[in-house]
Amino acid sequence: MPYEWTSPAHSTPQTMRLWPHNSLPARGMAAFVLSTFTLISLPVLGLLGSPILWGILPFTLGAVWAIYYALQKNFKSRQINEELSLDETMAILTRTNPQGDVQEWECDRYWTQVTKYEDEGPVPHYVTLRGKGREVEIGAFLSEEERIDLYDDLRRALQR
């Protein structure tokens, strides 16, 4: 599950870390790009020594480069990290975006409300924290089932 409590449930402060699921690690991406290059190159091998090779080769390399570029861009866009700290008096949510900028929200823990929007949010089971006149999303990058579990975990944690 792409979120975890990094401190025990009964201790104070409690800290939860959330991150997007990474289904293709760096080694898997390298293997995929290499196998794609190999499979695309097989038909080109029959053209070795032919002038047609020089007409097809740029498109073959361009296709492999486009796949690599798309996978790299996707990997970088998933570099999101959210951390929720709950101590005896405060709830603090810190979000680090892919570009490196940091957003922070804090509220008195007693007044913090967790809300789940079944269908009204940008994603099903959209989870937000509300307090101090602001409402912020948490875990929007998680799957639908993970957001449901997250909502239940947050409700239990805030009730303590």
Residue 153 has pLDDT above 70, yes or no: yes
Residue 12 has pLDDT above 90, yes or no: no
pLDDT digit string (tens) for 58-95? Answer: 999 999 999 999 999 999 988 999 999 999 899 999 99
Predicted pLDDT at 130: 95
What 3-state class would DSSP assign to 7? Answer: coil
102 and 81 Cβ atoms separated by less than 8 Å: no
Buried b (16+ CB within 10 A) or exposed e, 64-82: beebbeebeeeeeeeeeeb
Predicted pLDDT at 82: 95
Kindly report the average pLDDT of the chain as a whole number. 91
Predicted pLDDT at 9: 63
pLDDT digit string (tens) for 16-32? Answer: 999 998 888 889 999 99
